[in-house]
Amino acid sequence: MKLIQIIQKYCNGDYGFDLEVSKQGSFQVSYIKAVTKTFSNDVLVENLANSDFFELYGQIIEEALIFAYDFTFKDEMPKECKIFEFLDLSLEVFRVMAHYKYVPFMPAIHEMLSKLDERIQKVSSGGESSR
């Protein structure tokens, strides 16, 4: 599935690190919009969920949360910033996956959210560098 290949390449750094398109959220917004278009097809949603999607998606959300944290508390937010739009759209993924028919995927979602919580706790407490 193409969406899995894209997220794998992104998380592996194949598209490069520290690009403005990532820092400002343009890539993330485009990606999440493509993902949400699959939600009308249960087979595609299950294919995403059966892959390493949640682990990789968690990395993208983590990165976005760190950028959002930095924009909020450290840096000046670029006018073109879409990080907060991405985070808002990400809630749609969780809303869809909360449906009873996707209960088998809840452990993977829970693990992803636990990792996000742990990292954000470290960053926001100053115990870990945000970047």
- 102/96 Cα distance (integer angstroms): 9
Is 70 exceeded by the pLDDT of residue 129? no
Per-residue confidence at 5, pLDDT binned at 50, 70, 90? very high
Is 60 exceeded by the pLDDT of residue 130? no
- 52/47 Cα distance (integer angstroms): 10
Instruction: Please write the tens of the pLDDT for every residue from 66-77.
Output: 888 888 887 777
Task: Please state the domain extents for the chain.
Answer: 2-124
Instruction: Please write the tens of the pLDDT for every residue from 15-66.
Output: 766 777 777 888 899 999 999 888 888 888 888 888 888 889 989 998 888 8
- 27/68 Cα distance (integer angstroms): 15
Q: Indicate the residue type of 88.
A: D
- 65/93 Cα distance (integer angstroms): 16
